[in-house]
Amino acid sequence: MRHARRRIVRRAARPAAVGGLLLGTAMVTRAVAGEPPGAPAVSHTLAPPASGTGGALVSRLGASRTAGHWVGPDGRPVVAVTDDAAADEVRRAGAGAKAVRHSMAELTSATSALRSAPRVAGTAWALDYRSNEVVVRGDSTVSGADWSRLTKVAEGIGGFLRMERTEGVSTTRLRGARPILSTAGRCSAGFNVTDGRGDFILTAGHCGPTGAVWFGDDGGGRQIGKTVARSFPGDDFSLVEYANGRAGGGAGVVAVGDGEGARITGAGEAAVGQRVFRSGSTSGLRSGRVTALDATVNYPEGTVSGLVQTNVCAEPGDSGGPLFSEGVALGVTPGGSGDCAEGGTTFFQPVAEALTSLGMRMIVSSPDGAGQRAAPAPSGGGAASPGAPVPGVDGTASLSRLTDRRAVGPGLLVIAGSPVALAATRWLRAEQDRKARRRYYSGTWR
């Protein structure tokens, strides 16, 4: 009987292990190629419509009854409100409501007071909607005396200003996805835009002055174009006109490394809590989340306001590179602090503001990748692209799924567990055979 059971285990073990490997491979393939089975919607896929809902509610209720909006952990919009009636209206619209003490009018008044104070290079501040505070930061270059003076200014404004010292230095990331070179230094191309007559590169304003000539980083001295418009400081964007007037094929795609790209299908505005991707010629494709809006940074070169603050890392050479989410263009990289080894804070010039100021439209890819066209001007509070934003052709959706333990983890466990189970079965079988031989031979040793 025992021999029969062992034969059954022996026959079943190998097919079970092979079946486990096939099942695990199928689970991983499904997780990468499509949505994980049974996984709930995550915030980065719902961010553009969530931003649109939250922004519309804030606009309707006004700055005295709200204090910003963000994308919650479940991907739903959340609006900070100052009274019960506003909270009821927000909930009726299908969004979450959080009661706060200070309105947007108070928060923006505080930032105006900070801008009126003597300027201190190395400091920055932003509106933290979720904590209902204005967060003021000073990097390692800010002296103790300057920090003490700024702290007194903050105390005079109100108790909703939070003071923080940070490591590193806040710098413009001089030196996108594709590297571009000039006598001013090295930067990255951001997005391709058009005015209907000619095509241009939208990049960071601190990269170079008007009239700067740009070349490709291919060693051949190929001239790309010339800077024809610039706003820095104050804002941080510039416009490089293509030398031949046209961006060429693939203009609606941004490079993300390894010869691959992500299709851009529209332009929109970022939302706090939204998952975003940044591409740069130095550090490649990186991801993170939007942590604050309307940030102000005091660089040694000047003050830049109205920025998007994120926890996406960046390094010198990434300046001007594109910020996007699910195919929607959100910003270009001006600067920040830290690096991609230790992490840090990076700020972005909003694309919508730059396009409006320059009178440009984004060159975008069709959702099916069949062609490209000029997108309509972005409207506040969401993506301007038709329909749902399309993930990049480089597989940014696959990148997020590969890092989602709920999606790929079970399949990897099945794959890893199958050979382990087979090896364990074989060991148990060998151990059983050894004991059987011992019992047999011990019976003959008399």
Report, as residue numbers or ranges, the catalytic residues: 206, 236, 319
Determine the Cα–Cα distance for residues 397 and 326; give it in Å rounded to an integer: 8
Contact 227, 339 (CB under 8 A): no
Contact 292, 128 (CB under 8 A): yes
User: CB-hemisphere CA count at 13 Å for 175?
Assistant: 9
Task: Name the H helices within 102-229.
Answer: 104-116, 144-157
Residue 21, CA distances (Å) to 12, 261, 372, 414 in order: 15, 32, 42, 7
* Residue found under tokens 């130095």: 282
Residue 366, CA distances (Å) to 262, 375, 382, 390 in order: 12, 10, 18, 9
Contact 114, 135 (CB under 8 A): no
Determine the Cα–Cα distance for residues 78 and 68; give it in Å rounded to an integer: 9
Residue type, position 266, single letter: G
Q: How much of the chain is in helix, strand and coil states, percent to nearest 5?
A: 30, 35, 35
- For the purposes of burial, counting CB atoms within 10 Å of the CB of 443, is it exposed (0-12), middle (13-18) or buried (19 or more)? exposed
Token pair, residue 209, equals: 């002055």
